[in-house]
Amino acid sequence: MPTTRERLLDLHAELSGCRACPRVVGTPVHPSAQPARILLVGQAPGPREASLGKPFAWTAGRTLFGWFASVLGADEQTVRRHMYLSAVTRCFPGKAPGGGDRRPDPDEVARCRRWLRAEMELMRPRLVVPVGTLAIAEVMGHRGGLAEVVGTSHRLVFEGHRADVIPLPHPSGASTWHRMEPGKTLLARALALLAAHPEVKRAFGPRRKA
Ligand code: SF4
């Protein structure tokens, strides 16, 4: 009987060969095959992640890991070990005509869902952390403003599995939401909820200096 890690390795091998979306640029990105009970769902990789070989490897990642360091006292490597960094789509969508990264289109989101579904099935996470409006819409079905959900915690069924869900804004430099009110206060509330979650406490232990 293969272990979860072995099944994740097989899944990643299959994912790496996926070329289902003609508009995307580069190859699929996935984290290391380290099973975790906390699953973070980003939007899509940026232009550098495929060559660097891991999700959140550039500026958005620096902000994201900075948030976690501030409440968990954990460095990037520790966060990557205990949090599986998934995404709504796994390939860089390319640049948008008006600048910034293109938001994945609904067909790409639908095609890429199979990987997230498989990861949910394999790891059955206790906590799911959707990051940004697209991931929040996919995980929670919430298509309203960030201020309505960031800073709240939910228990819901996602891909057939019951999990706690704590949404975060996207740490992209293109977004100012988390740097201005009410975003700053709501982000702090969301991070406090995250730090207090039993699965986070179990994984990261008592807070220590990063
Ligand atoms: S975005 Fe997802 S479905 Fe589309 S090619 Fe990349 S891995 Fe495959």
Q: What is the pLDDT of residues 38-57, one digit of tens each?
A: 999 999 999 999 999 999 99
Atom of ligand 1 nearest to the CA of 15: 7
Q: How far apart are CA 8 and CA 136, in angstroms?
A: 24
Place of tokens 């199979």: 114
- Residue 133: predicted pLDDT: 97
Q: How confident is the model at residue 186 (pLDDT cuts 50, 70, 90)?
A: very high
Q: What is the pLDDT of residues 109-138, one digit of tens each?
A: 999 999 999 999 999 999 999 999 999 999
What is the distance, to the nearest Å, from the Cα of residue 138 to the centroid of all Cα atoms in its chain? 12
pLDDT over 90, % of the chain: 92
Q: Give just the sign of the alpha carbon dihedral 17, 21, 23, 24.
A: negative
**Would you say the CB of residue 30 lies under 6 angstroms from ligand 1?**
no
- What structural domains does the chain harbor? 28-91+99-204 (3.40.470.10)
Give yes or no for a cis peptide into 182 (omega within 30° of 0).
yes
pTM of this structure: 0.96
Instruction: Kindly report which listed range (27-31, 44-48, 95-99, 109-113) carries the lowest average pLDDT score.
Output: 95-99
Ligand 1 midpoint to CA 19 (Å):
6
**Would you say the CB of residue 21 lies under 6 angstroms from ligand 1?**
yes
Q: Which residues of 25-53 are buried (b: 16+ CB within 10 A; e: fewer)?
A: eebbbbbebebbbbbbbbbbbbeebbeee
**Would you say the CB of residue 112 lies under 6 angstroms from ligand 1?**
yes
Question: Which three-class secondary structure state does DSSP give residue 155?
Answer: strand
